[in-house]
A and B are shown apart, each in its own frame.
Chain A
Amino acid sequence: MTLDYDMEAYKDVQYIVFRLDDEYFGASVKHVESIERFSPITRVPTDKESTIGVINLRGEVIPVVDPKKMLGILDSQSKQNSKSRIIITDISGNKVGILADSAVEVCEIDKKMIQENIKMLKGKNKDFFKGVAQIKDRYVMIIDFEQLLWSES
């Protein structure tokens, strides 16, 4: 009998819920390193529309992206204000910040609570949508940061 346990299993049920415009999104905290407040963003010359620039996070230079552009569901462009947060993701040591209009909470979402196979969003919203979960009185769209940021589209 060999059982290899790891903490990842535990982190799997923890989700961060954040807001983009009026919609709520959730993503597993296993890829989240921290949540940061406003920080000046330095523009970088790139053709990637979703890349806003880089920030200085305690001496580290970290790219920041606008998820709205990637999700392709909202037209508006993210602007930083006092409520907005940068969610710092860490996937295999590569850090990327995701600009959110606000961070709502960190909560437990059981896998069973996530309804998969719902075609919420028109068209090509492929692999990064994991489903929808109802938390309290709101619907939260569950997305996978790894797929969102790193899968070639």
Chain B
Amino acid sequence: MAKKILIVDDALFMRMMIKNILTKNGYEVVAEAENGLKAIEKYQQTNPDLVIMDITMPELNGIEAVRRIKKINKDAKIIMCSAMGQRSMVFESLQAGARDFILKPFQAERVLDAVKKATYS
């Protein structure tokens, strides 16, 4: 069965790009969210196999969202999505429990590799 993925990014453009890459490769994007709060809501509704999470977002940033999702489900798998130059935030989110990170601009193969490895079970 196709793995279910939740995409969180405040830019529609980025969500579109990631969604494109994933659906083309047999993943199911079950939901999208444009900020951290929405992400938590959608996470509870859809219980996805994986979350791809932007770091800088309005309302609630990605790092905090990771912490809260991890509280809901400590095995939640989350890949951070970061622009370059956010070194400390990447560290923070890894400490908060994110599994992996990818840097913008993406290479599709990196995204797929990370998704594949994170959803391996």
Residues of A within 8 A of B (CB): 1-7, 9-10
Contacts and interface: CB of A to CB of B under 8 A. Distances in A.
Contact of A3 (B11, B13, B14, B107): B107
A6 to B, nearest CB: 5
B32 to A, nearest CB: 16
Interface residues of B, number: 10
A10 B107 contact: no
Given A4-B106, A5-B17, A5-B106, 15 more contacts: A1-B108, A2-B107, A2-B108, A2-B109, A3-B17, A3-B21, A3-B108, A4-B107, A5-B14, A6-B105, A7-B11, A7-B13, A7-B14, A9-B13, A10-B13
A5 B105 contact: yes
A3 B107 CA distance: 6
B23 to A, nearest CB: 14
Contacts of A9: 13
